[in-house]
Every structure is written in C-alpha cells, then in structure tokens.
C-alpha cells in the first residue's frame, strides 16, 4: 500500500508506462508473426512462380517493404532462396521478377 497519494500516482504512471512499453508491443509482435505466417503460406503456393511482393502486399494489406524485410529474414535463416532471372540482355533480366524456392520443407 502506498504511503501517500504522490507515491500512488507515481506507481500508477509507472504501471501504465510499463503496460504500454511491454504488453502492447507484445500484441503488435503477435500481429507481425501472424502476417509472416500468412506470407510463408503465400510463398508456398507460389513456389517457382515469379515473385511479386507488391501483389502479395495487397493480399496481406501490408507494405511491400514489410514483405521484403520478411523475405530477407527467411533468406538469412536459410528457409528460402531466390533465383534471379537470367537473360543475355541484362536490361531485360533486371525487369523480370525473381523466383522463390524453399530450402526446407515447411508444413
């Protein structure tokens, strides 16, 4: 029990700050994990097909930069790898989309 009202107010303010800093952030991470899980499921359905992060971002209602970050994480963990298109005409190869493949069996 607080000795006076100022200590009680200080405790309430600290409690609220901790709640926002820790618990609310955990809920946002949970949303991010669910989005990443859906992203992996979409990748599984599109193995070997040209990768369009913009299209997948619309499907998941997130920014393409977010999916690029998720893809980088999956590549760093050796879960997926991308194959860049090859063409004699380098400009044409740069316009084509890469393809994604899994290194490990997922699900």
pLDDT of residue 96: 74
**Containing domain of residue 65, as a range?**
5-102
Residue 107, in any domain of the structure: no
Three-state DSSP string of 23-66: HHHHHHHHHHHHHHHHHHHHHHHCCCCECCHHHHHHHHCCCHHH
pLDDT of residue 106: 57
Record the tokens describing residue 19, joined without a space: 């709640």
Q: Structural domain tally of the chain?
A: 1
Q: Which of 42, 104, 45 has the alpha carbon at shortest distance from 53?
A: 42
CATH code (residue 37): 1.10.10.10
Is the whole model's pTM more than 0.75, yes or no? no
pLDDT tens digits, one per residue of 34-75? 898 999 999 999 998 999 999 999 999 999 999 999 999 899
Please state the rounded mean pLDDT for residues 19-33.
69
């Amino acid at each position: 029990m607080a000795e006076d009202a100022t200590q009680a107010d200080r405790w309430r303010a600290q409690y609220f700050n901790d709640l926002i800093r820790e618990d609310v952030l955990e809920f946002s991470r949970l949303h991010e994990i669910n989005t990443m899980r859906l992203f992996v499921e979409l990748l599984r359905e599109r193995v070997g097909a040209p990768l369009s992060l913009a299209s997948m971002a619309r499907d998941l209602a997130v920014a393409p930069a977010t999916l690029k970050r998720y893809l980088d994480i999956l590549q760093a963990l050796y879960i997926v790898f991308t194959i860049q298109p090859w063409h004699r005409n380098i400009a044409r190869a740069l316009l084509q989309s890469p393809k994604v493949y899994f290194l490990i069996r997922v699900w």
